[in-house]
């Protein structure tokens, strides 16, 4: 059965799931009105921390990913607190700056991060399971590859699924009402008893955590990372997934990331003009439907029917 599955599509599936996590990394702070383009920086941080922990210190992969997430959350708080003073576009540019500075640190710290050559031969998250399956000879060497890709996909699916479920569950609760209140009007929110600093830094560090986990999983999916993986383009891509999908709703980020990861693959026949189409979609969407495709009133209408 396994050989029937084609790892080309599984691979695209795995990248879609990673992009969904990155889109959530933009969605969560956006729900409190903070536009963060630091996703790429935290993703890089997560990827490098986990890769170094596994390749240099031999930690088991799940443990390394958790550490990468934890440390990046602290970094998120360290960046989040000072950026409370910044609003709108300034915050976007400052977090973009943070991402670039992190990338240069990866280039400069050669002894630890391998500099521009990056870190290679990072074991895949599916390594453990595949070894177990081969011992039980459920799979043999012919479909070992597909099995490993499938395990990677399933692990990613579980983690992404948990994040998406977590934020859907959080939707109509006290915490999310506070976040939306802050997004709509900070002064009013503070005067009805919401500690806006606490919730903004909470959202920012949640975003750092999710982006770092996405980075760590990315490292253990492609087994080679270099500073050029976490550039300005990656941060902008995450923003576009969320905004196009619909920045008002969790499923908007999911929809945006899925469609915009599959479209470039599907537009592969356009060759150079593929990205021109990508850019054009952006401009058209912003002109005619800035709140994105999935919005609250779609669900409200569905509920009404």
Partner 1 sequence: MHLFIEQLINGITLGSIYSLTALGLTLIFGVLDILNMAHGAVFMFGAFTAVLIVSKLGLPLWVGFLGGCIVSGLLGYALEMFALRPLRRRKNTSPLAPLISTIGVSIILENIARALFGSDTISFRTSISDINFKLGEIDINLINLVILAVSFTITILLYFWLKNSKSGRALRAVSENPDTAAFLGVNTSKVITFTVVSASCAGGAAGVLVAMAFNSVNNEIGLAMGLKGLAIIILGGMGSVNGAVAGGILLGLAETFVVAYGDSGYKEIIGFIIIMAVLLIKPQGIFGTTQKVKV
Partner 2 sequence: MVRLKLNKIIIIAVSLLLFSCKADVPKVKGEQPNSQQSIKIGIIAALSGPAAGYGNSIVNGFTLAASEINKAGALNIELIIEDSAGKQEQALSVVKKLINSDKVTAILGPTLSTEMRLVGPEANNSGIPILATSNTASGITDIGQFVFRDSMPESIAIPFAIKKAIEKYHIKNVAMFYGDDDVFTKSAFDTMKSTAEALGLNITTIEKFQKGQTDFKAQLTKIKSTSPDALLCSALYNEGGVILDQARKIGITVPVIGGNGFNSPKIFEIAGSSSDGLIVATPWFSESVENPKVLDFISKFEKAYGSKPDQFAAQAYDGLFIMAHAIKTAGSADRNKIRDALASVRNFNGVLGKFSFDQNRDVDMEPFVLIAKDSKFQLLQ
Partner 3 sequence: MLQLKLINKNFGGVTALRNISLNVKAGEIVGLIGPNGAGKTTLFNIITSITKPDSGRILFNGKDITGLRPYRIAELGIGRTFQNIKLFGQMEAVENVMTGMHSVSRGGVCRCAFKFLGYRQEEQLLREKAQQLLSFVGLSGKGSEISESFSYGQQRRLEIARSLALNPQLLLLDEPVSGMNDTETQDIMRLITGIRESGISVLLIEHDMGLVMGVCDSVIALNFGHVIAVGTPAEIQKNPEVIEAYLGKTAEVVTNARS
Contact positions toward partner 2, by CB under 8 A?
Answer: 6-8, 10-12, 15, 107, 115-118, 120-121, 141, 144-146, 149, 222-224, 226-229, 259, 262-263, 265-269, 271-272, 288-289, 293, 295, 297-298, 301
Contact segment (CB under 8 A) with partner 1 among 9-17, 44-52, 99-107, 124-132 equals 99-107
Distance CA 158, CA 17 (A): 10
**Which does residue 202 bind out of partner 2, partner 3, partner 1, none, counting CB within 5 to 8 angstroms by kind?**
partner 3
Q: How far apart are the first and last CA of the chain?
A: 42
CB proximity list for 222: less than 8 A, separation 6 or greater: none
Among the residue ranges 46-54, 81-89, 90-98, 185-193, the one whose residues contact partner 3 (CB under 8 A):
185-193
Task: For 225, list phi and psi in degrees, rounded to 5.
Answer: -130, 150
301 belongs to the binding site for partner 3 (CB under 8 A): no
Closest distance to partner 2 from the beta carbon of 180 (Å) = 21
Taking the C-alpha atoms of residue 136 and residue 118, their distance in angstroms, rounded to an integer, is: 35
The only residue of 1, 57, 58, 82 in contact with partner 1, by rule CB under 8 A: 82
Q: How many residues does the chain have?
A: 305
Cα–Cα distance measured from residue 219 to residue 213, given in angstroms and rounded to the nearest whole number: 10
Both tokens of 81, joined, read 């607190």
178: contact with partner 3 by CB under 8 A? yes
Residue 2: contacted member of partner 3, partner 1, partner 2, none (CB under 5 to 8 Å, by partner type):
none
- Taking CB under 8 A as the criterion, the residue among 78, 184, 266, 270 binding partner 3 is 184
Name the token pair of 254.
């999911």
- 113 within 8 A of 47, measured Cβ to Cβ: no
Q: Which two tokens stand for residue 305?
A: 């029917």
> Measured from the CB atom, is 181 or 219 closer to partner 2?
219
Question: Does residue 112 belong to the site contacting partner 1 (CB under 8 A)?
Answer: no
Instruction: Compute how many residues bind partner 1; rule: CB under 8 A.
Output: 40
Least Cα distance to 9 among 17, 122, 127, 1 occurs for 17
Q: Which one, of 168, 167, 165, 190, lies nearest residue 178 by Cα?
A: 190
Q: Does 9 bind partner 1 (CB under 8 A)?
A: no
Tokens of 249: 């709703």
Q: Any contact of residue 190 with partner 1 (CB under 8 A)?
A: no
Outline where 223-249 has alpha helix (H).
232-245
Q: Does residue 78 interact with partner 1 by CB under 8 A?
A: no
Bridge partners of 119?
A: 225
Longest dimension (CA), the chain: 65
Residue 268 interacting with partner 1 (CB under 8 A): no
Residue 211 touches which of partner 3, partner 1, partner 2, none (Cβ within 5-8 Å per kind) = none
Question: What is the contact surface with partner 1 in residues (CB under 8 A)?
Answer: 35, 82-83, 85-86, 88-90, 92-94, 96-98, 100-101, 104, 107-108, 187, 232, 236, 239-240, 243, 272-276, 278-283, 286-288, 290
């Amino acid at each position: 059965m396994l050989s029937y599955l084609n790892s080309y599509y599984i691979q695209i599936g795995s990248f879609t799931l990673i992009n969904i996590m990155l889109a959530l990394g933009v969605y969560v702070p956006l729900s409190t009105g903070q536009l963060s383009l630091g996703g790429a920086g935290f993703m890089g941080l997560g990827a490098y921390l986990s890769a170094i922990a596994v390749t240099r210190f031999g930690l088991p992969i799940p443990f390394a990913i958790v550490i990468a997430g934890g440390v990046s959350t602290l970094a998120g708080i360290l960046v989040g607190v000072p950026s409370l003073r910044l609003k709108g576009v300034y915050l976007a540019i400052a977090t973009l700056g943070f991402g670039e500075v992190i990338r240069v640190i990866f280039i400069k710290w050669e002894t630890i991060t391998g500099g521009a050559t990056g870190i290679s031969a990072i074991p895949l998250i599916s390594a453990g399971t595949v070894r177990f399956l081969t011992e039980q000879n459920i799979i043999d060497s012919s479909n070992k590859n597909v099995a490993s890709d499938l395990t990677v996909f399933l692990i990613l699916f579980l983690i992404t699924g948990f994040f998406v479920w977590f934020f859907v569950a959080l939707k109509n609760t006290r915490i999310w009402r506070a976040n939306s209140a802050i997004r709509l009007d900070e002064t009013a929110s503070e005067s009805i008893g919401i500690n806006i600093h606490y919730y903004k830094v909470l959202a920012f560090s949640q975003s750092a955590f999710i982006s770092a986990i996405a980075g760590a999983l990315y490292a253990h999916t492609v087994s080679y990372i270099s500073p050029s993986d976490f550039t300005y383009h990656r941060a902008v891509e995450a923003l576009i997934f969320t905004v196009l999908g619909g920045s008002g709703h969790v499923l908007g980020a999911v929809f945006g990331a899925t469609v915009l990861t599959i479209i470039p693959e599907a537009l592969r026949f356009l060759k150079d003009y593929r990205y021109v189409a990508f850019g054009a979609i952006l401009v058209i969407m912003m002109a005619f439907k800035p709140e994105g495709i999935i919005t609250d009133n779609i669900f409200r209408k569905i509920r009404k029917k």
